[in-house]
C-alpha cells in the first residue's frame, strides 16, 4: 500500500509515521514530490493498519496497490523520475543520446568513436568491455582492459560512460568506471545481480529481456528499486518474435504503456531492435514520436570491420546526419535534442 501525506505535512510528521510503520513490521520507501510526500509500504496487506493510518490528521489517504510492481508504479511515484548526471538529465524535457560501438575493441577504435559521437551531439558513450555472446567462439570483449580505455574516454571527452555488467561479482569494478551501469537483455532476470545493483547509488540502465513481458520487465526494475537504488532507466531493445526479417521486433507500443504504468524514464535501442543500420534512422524517429526519453545507437568508425554487431552500426557520418534529422522530430514532440 501507499500512504499519501497531506500537502502541509512536515518532515517530522513523515518521520513519525515512517517509524510507526517500521514498528509494525513494514518496509518503507519515501517518494517526495513537489506538493506532497508518498510513503511506499512493503509488506502484508492489513486493513486495520490502513485504518489506523487514515485516522492520523497528517495522512490524506491510504491506497492499496494491486499491481505487483509497487515502487516502479505511478501510484508510488506520480511524477516522472528524472535522473541527473552533471549537466545531463534523463527523463526531463531534453532527450539523451547514448552512442558508440557495441564492443571495446582497441584504444584507438574507442577514442575515434568517442570523438565522433561527441561532435555529433551525443551526451553519453556506450561500449561493452564485457560482451555476452550467443557463441562461445565469438569476440567476448577486452574485459578489465576495456574498462581502462573507457575511463580514458571519460577523462578526455567528458562524455558519460555506459557499459554492461555481467554478474554480481564485478559490480565494484564496473561501477568505478561507468556513470550508468547497463544490465543486458540476457541478465534482466539475474536476480542476484539486480539485488547487488539495488545496494549501490549509481544509475542502472535495464534492458528488456529477449522475450520478457512488460510486467516482467518492471518487476526486474522492482528488484533494484526495493534495494534502495531509485535511479533506474528502462531500455526497450526489441523482443523475439516469429519475424525473421529483423533481428528483433522493436515494441514501440511499450514506450507509452510503460510510461502509463511507471514513473521511470524509458529509452530505445533501435540498433538491437532491428539489426540493420538502414532501419535505425526510421525507428529512432518513431521512438521519439512515441515518447522515448532518449536513444541508444551503435556507432562504429568502420562498421565493416567491427568485431561485434557491424551490420547494425552506423558510421560517424550517418550518425551525424541522423542527429540533425532527429532535432526536428524532437521539437514536434515537444522535446529538445
Determine the 3-state secondary structure of 322 from DSSP.
helix
Average pLDDT, the chain: 94
Report the pLDDT value the prediction gives residue 51, as an integer from 0 to 100: 87
Give pLDDT tens digits for 115-138.
Answer: 999 999 999 999 999 877 677 767
Topology adopted by domain 2-63: Alpha-Beta Plaits (3.30.70)
Report the pLDDT value the prediction gives residue 336, as an integer from 0 to 100: 92
Mean pLDDT on 249-265: 98
Mean pLDDT on 296-324: 97
For residue 74, give every residue at least 6 positions away whose Cβ sits within 8 Å of its Cβ, in sequence order, or none.
Answer: 260, 261, 262, 263
Mean pLDDT on 300-310: 95
Mean pLDDT on 34-48: 83
Q: pLDDT over 90 for what percent of the chain?
A: 78
Taking the chain, what is the end-to-end CA distance rounded to the nearest angstrom?
Answer: 38
Q: How far is CA 4 from CA 29, 69, 240, 280, in A?
A: 12, 18, 40, 43
The residues spanned by each domain of the chain are 2-63, 83-332
Of 26-30, 213-217, 232-236, the least confident: 26-30
Topology adopted by domain 83-332: TIM Barrel (3.20.20)
Q: How far is CA 268 from CA 256, 288, 297, 314, 327, in A?
A: 12, 9, 9, 16, 16
Mean pLDDT on 251-277: 98
Determine the 3-state secondary structure of 56 from DSSP.
coil
Sign of the alpha-carbon dihedral angle for 327, 256, 96, 31: positive
The pLDDT of residue 87 is above 80: yes
**Residue bearing the bigger pLDDT, 317 or 56:** 317
User: Is residue 45 very low, low, confident or very high in pLDDT (cuts 50, 70, 90)?
Assistant: confident
Q: CA-CA distance, 216 to 208, in Å (whole number)?
A: 9
Give pLDDT tens digits for 154-191.
Answer: 999 999 999 999 999 999 999 999 999 999 999 999 99
Q: CA-CA distance, 242 to 316, in Å (whole number)?
A: 32
Mean pLDDT on 217-227: 97
Report the pLDDT value the prediction gives residue 149, as an integer from 0 to 100: 95
Report the pLDDT value the prediction gives residue 44, as an integer from 0 to 100: 77
The pLDDT of residue 298 is above 80: yes
Report the pLDDT value the prediction gives residue 130, as an integer from 0 to 100: 87
The pLDDT of residue 217 is above 90: yes
User: Is residue 141 very low, low, confident or very high in pLDDT (cuts 50, 70, 90)?
Assistant: confident
Amino acid at each position: 500500500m501507499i500512504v499519501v501525506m497531506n500537502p502541509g505535512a512536515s518532515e517530522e510528521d513523515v518521520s513519525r509515521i515512517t517509524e510507526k510503520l517500521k514498528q509494525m513490521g513494514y518496509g518503507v520507501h519515501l517518494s517526495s514530490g513537489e506538493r506532497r510526500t508518498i510513503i511506499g509500504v512493503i509488506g502484508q496487506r492489513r486493513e486495520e493498519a490502513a485504518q489506523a493510518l487514515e485516522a492520523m490528521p497528517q495522512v490524506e489517504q491510504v491506497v492499496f496497490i494491486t499491481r505487483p510492481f509497487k515502487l516502479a508504479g505511478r501510484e508510488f511515484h506520480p511524477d516522472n523520475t528524472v535522473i541527473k548526471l552533471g549537466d545531463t538529465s534523463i527523463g526531463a524535457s531534453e532527450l539523451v543520446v547514448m552512442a558508440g560501438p557495441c564492443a571495446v575493441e582497441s584504444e584507438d577504435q574507442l577514442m575515434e568513436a568517442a570523438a565522433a559521437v561527441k561532435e555529433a551531439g551525443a551526451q553519453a558513450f556506450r561500449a561493452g568491455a564485457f560482451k555476452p555472446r550467443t557463441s562461445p567462439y565469438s569476440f567476448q570483449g577486452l574485459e578489465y582492459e576495456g574498462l581502462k580505455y573507457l575511463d580514458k574516454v571519460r577523462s578526455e571527452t567528458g562524455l558519460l560512460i555506459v557499459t554492461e555488467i555481467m554478474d554480481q561479482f564485478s559490480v565494484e569494478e564496473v561501477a568505478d568506471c561507468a556513470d550508468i551501469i547497463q544490465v543486458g537483455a540476457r541478465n534482466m532476470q539475474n536476480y542476484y545481480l539486480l539485488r547487488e545493483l539495488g545496494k549501490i547509488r549509481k544509475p542502472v540502465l535495464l534492458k528488456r529481456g529477449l522475450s520478457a513481458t512488460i510486467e516482467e520487465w518492471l518487476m526486474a526494475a522492482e528488484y533494484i528499486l526495493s534495494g534502495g537504488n531509485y535511479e533506474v532507466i528502462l531500455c526497450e531493445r526489441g523482443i523475439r518474435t516469429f519475424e525473421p526479417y529483423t533481428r528483433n521486433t522493436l515494441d514501440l507500443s511499450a514506450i507509452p504503456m510503460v510510461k502509463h504504468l511507471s514513473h521511470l524514464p524509458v529509452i530505445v535501442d533501435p540498433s538491437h531492435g532491428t539489426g540493420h543500420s538502414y532501419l535505425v534512422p526510421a525507428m529512432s524517429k518513431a521512438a521519439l514520436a512515441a515518447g522515448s526519453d532518449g536513444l541508444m545507437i551503435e556507432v562504429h568508425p568502420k562498421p565493416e570491420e567491427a568485431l561485434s554487431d557491424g551490420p547494425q552500426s552506423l558510421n560517424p557520418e550517418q550518425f551525424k546526419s541522423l542527429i540533425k534529422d532527429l532535432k526536428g522530430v524532437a521539437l514536434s514532440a515537444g522535446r529538445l535534442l
